[in-house]
Amino acid sequence: MLRSTRRRKHPFRLSSAAALLFPLISLLAPSPAFGQDSDAGLEAWSEIAAVLQHPRCLNCHQAEAPLQGDEGRTHLPRVERGPSGLGMGPMQCFNCHNTMGNNPTAGVPGAPHWMLAPRSSRWQGANSAEMCAQLTDPARNGNRSDEEILEHMAEDDLVLWGWKPGADLEPVPIPHDEFVNILETWITAGTPCPDA
């Protein structure tokens, strides 16, 4: 027996104009989850910003010279960034800062690849919105994706040093694993930034 190749008319059929508008209308409809995620993301960002503005991070996210100590004083001896962020002439970061870690005898902190953050990642004088814009811009964050930002903050030895700085320096006050969870919340929410 042959089946009919004629299609039955669906009892509910959108007009062609309605069919085009329906997807647009659904996109414009507010989603309660979006607002909640955005709020959670902005709340997470405020905690992230507090960490990034802590002296353990801020002292090296400077334009031309590092700062020192919990109060962010001028680095002594006086050093300058230099073309690579490692110092100039005989005043190279690695002359004093051991790549193996802190030197408890001399009281000098250290970690692998000790250096100033790139100029594009300087947070000197930046407010929370400006820091967020820098961190989410690949041209200013070391060409990192969201996942690579998370990996950098979770695993980079120089970043991790901020939680174990030694030399009677105050560590970053929020536990590192909690900080990573907060970063994940922010990234899941779409890395929202506060208004300037």
pLDDT(98) > 50: yes
Q: Is residue 177 part of a domain?
A: yes
pLDDT of residue 4: 43
State how far the Cα of 160 lies from the Cα of 123, in Å rounded to an integer: 18
Share of the chain above pLDDT 90, in %: 71
pLDDT score of 7 more than 80: no
Q: For residue 155, is it within any domain?
A: yes
22 domain-assigned: no
Domain assignment present for residue 193? The answer is no
Q: Residue 73 has what pLDDT?
A: 95
13 assigned to some structural domain: no
pLDDT of residue 36: 59
Average pLDDT along the chain: 85
Q: What number of residues does the chain have?
A: 196
Q: What is the pLDDT of residues 27-67, one digit of tens each?
A: 444 443 444 588 999 999 999 999 999 999 999 999 999 99
- Looking at residues 100-129, what average pLDDT do you find? 92
Mean pLDDT along residues 160-177:
94
Residue-number span of the structural domain to which 70 is assigned: 38-188
> Given pLDDT bands bounded at 50, 70 and 90, which one contains residue 145?
very high
Picking from 71, 43, 68, 70, the residue whose alpha carbon sits closest to that of residue 128 is 43
Averaged over 172-179, what is the pLDDT? 97
Q: Is the pLDDT of residue 183 over 90?
A: yes
Residue 17 falls within a domain, yes or no?
A: no
pLDDT value at residue 32: 39
In a domain? residue 20? no
Count of domains observed in the chain: 1
Q: Amino acid identity, residue 87?
A: G
| Percent of the chain's residues with pLDDT above 70 | 82
pLDDT of residue 37: 80
pLDDT average, residue stretch 13-31 = 43
In a domain, 28, yes or no: no
Q: Token pair of 195, please?
A: 């208004």
Instruction: Tell me the C-alpha distance between 64 and 67, whole Å.
Output: 10
